[in-house]
Amino acid sequence: MCGIVGYVGRAQAAPIVLDGLEKLEYRGYDSAGMAIFDGERIHITKSVGRLKVLQELTHDGGTMPGCLGIGHTRWATHGAPSDENAHPHFNAKETIAVVHNGIIENYLPLKKKLEGRGYTFRSETDTEVLAHMLDYYYKGDPMDAIIKVLHRVEGSYALGILFADFPGELFAVRKDSPLIVGQNKEGCFIASDVPAILRYTREVTYIENQEIVRLTADGLHIYNVDEEEVEKTPVTIEWDAEAAEKAGYEHFMLKEMYEQPKTVTDTISPRMRGNEIIIEELGMDDGKLRQVKKLHIVACGSAYHAGVTGKYVLEGLARIPVEVDLASEFRYRNPILEEGAMVVVISQSGETADTLAALRESKKRGFPVLGIVNVVGSSIAREADNVMYTWAGPEIAVATTKAYSAQLVALYLLAMKLAQVRGTVTQEELAGMMDDLRRLPDQIELLLNNKNRIQRFANRYIAARDVFFIGRSIDYAISMEGSLKLKEISYIHSEAYAAGELKHGTISLIEEGTLVAAVSTQPELYQKTISNMVEVKSRGAFVLAVTCEGNREIEKAADYVIYIPHTNRFFTNSLAIIPLQLFSYYVAVGKGCDVDKPRNLAKSVTVE
Ligand code: G6P
């Protein structure tokens, strides 16, 4: 999971490449590099560390003249972060340079073969194999060499390639790793993702598997592996460049939290017309939907947590059985899928390798797959039978907030639609729920505006060692996400527990002063959760409660209470998550952590 950028045109390439890489740092940031053709030969500058190291080394690109270049931000897979392992990689003669996002799975046998032919390797990467293979097959025709290499490598890749013999051309190709291309009056661009080139063009073309692109200053041509030209229509990206910038917030994460009211509105409003839920993208009429007997939700990370909430909502509202799986487990457990099953994969990026593999496994077995995806044109979006997009826009912070919130409401809509066709809710109930959904954005806003109080509270826990999040039923689902948010950005150990399960082991970890965040939004479970709060409080815990307005009784058992406004009991997670996000954010800020780019994590996990 790395980011690649490339440019060929009339402007100086290096600053454009650096600018693009900056927008892709969320994809990888342990090292960065550029290869620029200066009119005579290709020069590479690369370094371990953040992109700013490369910016300094090259004086913001000033030391690298030339109008053709490629760049890379790395998230190490093969070989630790180091100068040698940073991309681009050269062939021995330094006439071919490659940047790569993905993994070449058969790189070891290929490397052995190349070594047998006299090639020596300077790095431990799988990518360097590509540079030498291109060298081996290159006999004056870059396309021919690229195609020969494609036929021999297994795995995933998006590549940007320079050939010194072709000083005005940039080559690119992909398989199972994202690649887009774009063009403006000055030149042409390649990138792993839209924000990298949005400043230069809004017309973007998504490259499909094993398509090869040949770009010059004047235009680009796309070919299949038989070298036949492929006609493709660019997509107009509606996001403005501002949407991908921080817009004045201290961190992308905070900015994205504040975008949640809009995200929720954008995701629900096109699907609510009058008193009806209309999800055209499901590609199924009511009759077909009625035939769905069971749902399998499959996802990773926060998307999985959205799926856990989805299970409670779908089962509760539509009375349809739901299994939720981590994609990395689902793909290898030979899951039992029976007639009438539908698989729902959830993914912000649409590129998560395990989720994509689960999708393929389900399709292979002949089951329909619905994708709930944020990135238009991503692999999951393209491969799923039907796609329900979350309209969260680009999310830059590694820790998801707005995309997660959009996933939640997409699942509510799905549950309501299924409930409607299965007749498990009345028309009045449905209308009431739709009103509640429409109120969510304002209620989220209200909670966000309470940030100062949460910041003050968070400041007291900067030195915490362990934090526990507890809840029952749907509140357990949100505890999982609250706990993940805290640990991923603040590096404080944290666990989520079903409140009733505490006494089976976890309670032994409670010490004097341990923070326990108890979420309790389900009226029929208030008393039960209060009992669990009392259990931990009497063992020394400091109890933070998140509950619904009016539940004053909780103050007996909690040391600190955050109230959320009233909504339908199935929608409370959309509100309860807000104070938990803010809490994690301010603890991380207070500790001086790199909030948007937590150590060891990547936004888009395109490897297993
Ligand atoms: C990574 C991200 C998480 C995300 C997960 C799944 O681990 O850091 O925030 O939830 O991948 O990503 P997806 O793009 O499939 O939602």
For the ranges 176-190, 238-252, 326-340, 592-606, which has the lowest average pLDDT? 238-252
pLDDT value at residue 26? 73
605 lines ligand 1 (CB under 6 A): yes
Distance in angstroms (rounded) separating the CA atoms of residues 578 and 363: 36
CB of 348 sitting under 6 A from ligand 1: yes
| CB-count exposure of residue 195 (10 Å: 0-12, 13-18, 19+) | buried
Single out the residue in 405, 426, 448 at which a domain terminates. 448
Separation between Cα atoms, residue 206 and residue 181, nearest integer Å: 7
389 and 467 co-located in one domain: no
In this structure, the strands spanning 219-223 and 229-230 are antiparallel
In ligand 1, the atom with minimum distance to the C-alpha of 302 is 10
* 346 Cα–ligand 1 center, Å: 10
The answer to whether residue 412 sits within a structural domain is yes
What CATH number does residue 465 fall under? 3.40.50.10490
Shared-domain flag, residues 538 and 435: no
Are 464 and 518 members of one domain?
yes
Residue 608 is assigned to a structural domain of this protein:
no
User: Could you tell me the CA-to-CA distances from 252 to 230, 257, 293, 416, 582 in Å, in that order?
Assistant: 37, 8, 40, 32, 13
pLDDT digits (tens, 9 = 90+) for 499-532: 999 888 888 889 899 999 999 999 999 999 999 9
Domain CATH code at residue 99 = 3.60.20.10
User: Which residues, 6+ apart, have CB-to-CB distance to 208 below 8 Å?
Assistant: 174, 382
Q: What is the Cα 486 distance to its own chain's centre? A: 17
Residue 324 lies in a domain: yes
Verify that 179 and 164 share a domain, yes or no. Answer: yes
Residue 365 shares a structural domain with residue 455:
no
**Residue 250: Cβ within 10 Å count:** 12
Spatial contact of 184 and 211, defined as CB atoms under 8 Å apart = no
Is 512 domain-assigned?
A: yes
Q: Cα-flanking dihedrals φ and ψ of residue 461, to 5°?
A: -115, 20
The verdict on residue 427 lying in a domain is yes
- Using a pLDDT cut of 90, give the percent of the chain over it: 83
Question: Residue 495: which of 470, 526, 477 has the closest Cα?
Answer: 470
Q: Which of the listed residues 245, 267, 289 is the one where a domain comes to its end?
A: 245
pLDDT tens-place string over residues 542-563: 999 999 999 999 999 999 999 9
| The pLDDT of residue 81 | 83
Domain hosting 374: range is: 253-448
344 and 391 in a single domain? The answer is yes
Q: Is residue 606 part of a domain?
A: no
Q: Per residue in 490-507, is it b (16+ CB within 10 Å) or e — as a string?
A: bebebebbbbbebeeeeb
Q: What is the pLDDT of residue 275?
A: 86
Which of 36, 6, 34, 28 has its CA nearest to residue 73?
28
Q: Quick check: CB of 352 below 6 Å from ligand 1?
A: yes
Ligand 1 atom 1, closest CA: 603
Per residue in 327-370, pLDDT (tens digit) is 999 988 899 999 999 999 999 999 999 999 999 999 999 999 99
Q: Is residue 596 part of a domain?
A: no
> Residue 387's pLDDT band (boundaries 50, 70, 90)?
very high
> Is 349 a pocket residue for ligand 1 (Cβ < 6 Å)?
yes
* Separation CA 191–CA 214 (nearest Å): 14
- Please name which of 459, 496, 471 lies closest in space to residue 564, comparing C-alpha atoms: 471
Outline where DSSP puts E strands in 472-536: 493-498, 515-520
Q: Is the CB of 374 under 6 A from ligand 1?
A: no
- Average of per-residue pLDDT across 273-282: 89
Tell me which residue has its CA closest to atom 2 in ligand 1. Answer: 603
Share of the chain above pLDDT 70, in %: 98
Does position 608 have pLDDT exceeding 90, yes or no?
Answer: no
Local confidence band at 36 (pLDDT 50, 70, 90 cut-offs): very high
Q: Tell me: do 398 and 485 sit in the same domain.
A: no
Q: Which of 595, 541, 272, 261 is nearest to 430 (CA)?
A: 272
> Are 276 and 211 in a shared domain?
no
Q: Does the pLDDT value for residue 227 go beyond 80?
A: yes
Residues 544 and 524 in one domain: yes
Are 127 and 203 within one domain?
yes
> Which residues are tagged catalytic?
2, 603
Residue 129 contacts residue 107 (beta carbons within 8 Å): yes
Clarify whether residues 485 and 381 are in a common domain.
Answer: no
Q: Which of 195, 212, 245 is a domain's end point? A: 245
* Mutational test site, ligand 1, from 344, 345, 349, max ligand atoms within 8 Å of CB: 349
Q: Quote the ligand 1 centre to 347 CA distance (angstroms).
A: 7
The Å distance, Cα 396 to ligand 1 centre, comes to 12
398-457 pLDDT, tens digit per residue, is 999 999 999 999 999 999 999 999 999 999 999 999 999 999 999 999 999 999 999 999
Q: Both 172 and 73 in a single domain? A: yes
Phi then psi dihedrals of residue 538, to 5 deg: -70, -10
Q: Is the CB of 407 under 6 A from ligand 1?
A: no
Residue 60 lies in a domain: yes
Give the residue-averaged pLDDT of 74-101.
Answer: 92
Write out pLDDT tens, residues 561-593. Answer: 999 999 999 999 999 999 999 999 999 999 999
**Considering its fold, how many domains does the chain have in total?**
3
Radius of gyration, alpha carbons of the chain: 25
**pLDDT above 70 for 1:** no
| pLDDT at residue 375 in the model | 81
Q: pTM for the whole thing? A: 0.72
